[in-house]
Structure 1
Amino acid sequence: MEIQLPDIEEIKLEDVLIKRRSVREYCSSPLTLRELSHILFAAYGVTDERGFKTVPSAGATYPLEIYVNVRDVVGVEEGVYKYIPERHSIVRILDEEVGHELALAALKQMFIAIAPIVLIIAANYERTTRVYGDRGFRYVHMEVGHVAQNVYLMATSLGLGTVSVGAFYDNEIREILKIKEYPLLLMPVGRKIE
């Protein structure tokens, strides 16, 4: 089943840059489909008919895949979804949400289990290294940084919080999600506790 996501609205960047912070505590309230849509678009959405995305990519190789663990989004069933940037949609790949398992694999950072959504940014290095050789590994890592900053800024603009989590056991994350790509970053997103 594929879920079409809502269109994107404009934001004022200057305000967002000033307010951006890492957030590790989240309220128990759910996110909306609109908020999920904006977060995923910021991460890796397609911005024109040539297929360019919201982040720069060496040679436009776009080696990343964006997965999202949905625990609590209004109108979206729990589970793990893969983001399809070309259609700005998500497709469920696991019927169960795995936030608790992700938190344990991330050295017991349990705030991950509480977040309504967790982005998992994973890489297919071959897309970039076949063009740039070993230098491509660096380019992929730069790209994941661009994605993370976009997610931070979009979350902030929506009044949400997030944090980049890089401390986890790679193979455990791959096994939990049943994916072949290499996980590079987890980003829980939720409403900040005021």
Structure 2
Amino acid sequence: MHIITLPSPITETYLGKLLKERRSIRSYREGSLTLQELSSLLWYAYGCVEPGCERRTSPSAGATFPFEIYVSVKKDGVEGLEPGIYRYNAEENKLEEVLKGDFSRELAKACLGQRWVLNAPVNIILVAVADRTTEYYGERGWRYIFNEAGHIGQNIYLASVEMGLGTVAVGAFHDDQVSKVLNLPEGYVPVYVFPVGKAR
């Protein structure tokens, strides 16, 4: 077996520094996010980068973009924003209210009682609308959907580092319970939950 010794990677770049600082954070300082911070975080995650939203900040198989981004906001979680469940409208850069009220306890319970879900001022939930991808790629489309969830999740991690926030990827939850908390339409499947707060 022939072994090649590689030159040392160049890590002292802006991206390199973000990647070295990226870690899962499950404990958050007191304090609300600003609406600007939430807006930026959602755009970094899955925002539109050109008119018509034909290209986004995350790659998507066949540009099928199977994800809807939901946000659960606690009481006093975001300055100037009422507690509730919202859907991110990337095309218009707007939040659409789904439900009024603080659902952090219900969401945490659906996530097996994980306290960081309860304590975070905001939880970002990635919800797949599988038909958008599987109608084109068949059952293999599910693999592409999960790949895309990883792309979006890494964006959330790196954006959080840049903004002085903390997050952790949560995959342990009861799908049906999370769907009920978010009042998801039929065919919408929760894939990932990202609690976000001010990093300690």
TM-score by length of 1: 0.91
Give the match's secondary structure for 1:87: coil
Aligned residues: 182
1:164 — aligned with what?
169
1:191 aligns with 2:198: yes
Query: Where does residue 150 of structure 2 map in the other structure?
Result: 145
Larger Rg: 2
The 8 Å contact of residues 45 and 57 in structure 2, kept in 1 or not, is answered as yes
Amino acid in the other structure paired with 1:102: L
| Further displaced range: 61-70 or 46-55 | 46-55
Whichever residue aligns with residue 31 of structure 2, its letter is S
Query: How far apart are 1:101 and its partner, in Å?
Result: 0.8
- Over residues 31-69 of structure 1, what are the superposed CA-to-partner deviations in whole Å (9 max), with x where a residue is unaligned? 111110111001110011252111110110000000001
CA contact (8 A) 1:99 1:113 kept: yes
Letter of the 2:196 counterpart: V
Letter in 2 for 1:192: A
Q: Quote the sequence identity (%).
A: 43
CA RMSD of aligned residues (A): 0.9
Q: 1:103 — aligned with what? A: 108
Measured in 2, the distance between the counterparts of 1:157 and 1:173 equals 29
Contact 1:24 1:163 in 2 (8 A): yes
Structure 2 contact 58–151 (Cα < 8 Å) conserved: yes
Residue 18 in structure 1 maps to residue 23 in structure 2? no
- Structure 1 residues without counterparts, runs of 5 or longer: 1-11
User: Are the aligned partners of 1:165 and 1:185 in contact in 2 as well (CA < 8 Å)?
Assistant: yes
Deviations 1:12-32 (A, max 9, x none): 433211211100001121111
Q: For residue 73 of structure 2, what is the aligned residue in structure 1?
A: 70
* 1:6 corresponds to: none
Match of 2:133 in 1: 128
Residues 75-102 of structure 1, C-alpha deviations (whole Å, 9 max, x = no match): 1111111000001111111101211111
How many angstroms apart in 2 are the aligned matches of 1:166 and 1:152? 15
Aligned pairs for 1:19-58 (under 5 A) are 19-51=21-53, 52-58=55-61
SS of alignment partner, residue 51 of structure 2? coil
> 1:57, 1:143 within 8 Å by CA — same for their partners in 2?
yes
Note the C-alpha offset of 1:162: 0.1
Q: What is the DSSP-based 3-state SS (H/G/I as helix, E as strand, rest coil) of the residue aligned with 1:112?
A: helix
Corresponding residue SS for 1:31: coil
Q: Return the TM-score normalized by structure 2.
A: 0.89
Instruction: Pick from 173, 177, 181 the counterpart of residue 176 of structure 1.
Output: 181
Q: 1:59 aligns with which of 62, 81, 87?
A: 62
Aligned-partner Cα distance in 2 for 1:77–1:119: 16
Give the Cα separation in 2 of the matches to 1:88 and 1:80.
Answer: 16
**2:155 and 2:56 mapped to 1: Cα distance?**
11
